[in-house]
Amino acid sequence: MPQFRIADAARLLGVSDDTVRRWVDAGALPVRPDASNRKVIDGAALAAFARDHAQTAPVPSEGSAQPATGSSASGRLVSDTVMSQVEMQCGPHRVVSLMSTEAVGDLGLEPGVLAVAVIKSTNVVVETPGGNS
């Protein structure tokens, strides 16, 4: 399982090292010593923390920002013999990708593994909050 040092976790979460240390001291992020006796955070625990503490992206609604509703970030990997659903927490956004189970294995994906989402879209649907399209 991947492990992240406090400085790396801070960079991934977009906060200072001191903030991560405060979360560790408060028991919100579990740490353990690595082979060099430095504090490290388990990748799966860091992924769960990021998912649970992600702020909801605002959605404009009649001139005011309202929190988005109706989506649940579960941050998981669901596979069958052919296809897999990979969910990533990217800041306040949940990104879901469908790919072959073979690709998941080739990439070594599992909860807590650091991965990068590259998004390319050839079709974009634009709607207004009031339903005028």
pTM (2 d.p.): 0.64
pLDDT 10s digits, 29-55: 999 999 999 999 999 999 889 888 886
Encode burial over 38-72: b for 16+ CB neighbours within 10 A, e otherwise: ebbbbbebbbbbbbeebeeeeeeeeeeeeeeeeee
**What is the CA angle 74-110-113, rounded to 5?**
95
Which tokens hold the place of 120? 């390319």
- The answer to whether residue 91 sits within a structural domain is yes
Quick one: pLDDT at residue 67?
39
- The answer to whether residue 133 sits within a structural domain is no
- The answer to whether residue 89 sits within a structural domain is yes
Which CATH number does the domain housing residue 13 bear?
1.10.1660.10
- The answer to whether residue 29 sits within a structural domain is yes
Query: Looking at the 3D structure of the chain, how many domains does it have?
Result: 1
Residue type, position 36, single letter: S
Sheet architecture: strand order including 93-100: 77-79, 83-90, 93-100
CA distance 45 to 91: 16
- The answer to whether residue 82 sits within a structural domain is yes
Residue 18: band (very low, low, confident or very high) from pLDDT cuts 50, 70, 90: very high
- The answer to whether residue 49 sits within a structural domain is yes
Range of the domain at 74: 3-54+70-107
pLDDT 10s digits, 59-111: 555 444 443 333 333 356 788 999 999 988 887 778 888 999 999 999 999 88
- The answer to whether residue 117 sits within a structural domain is no
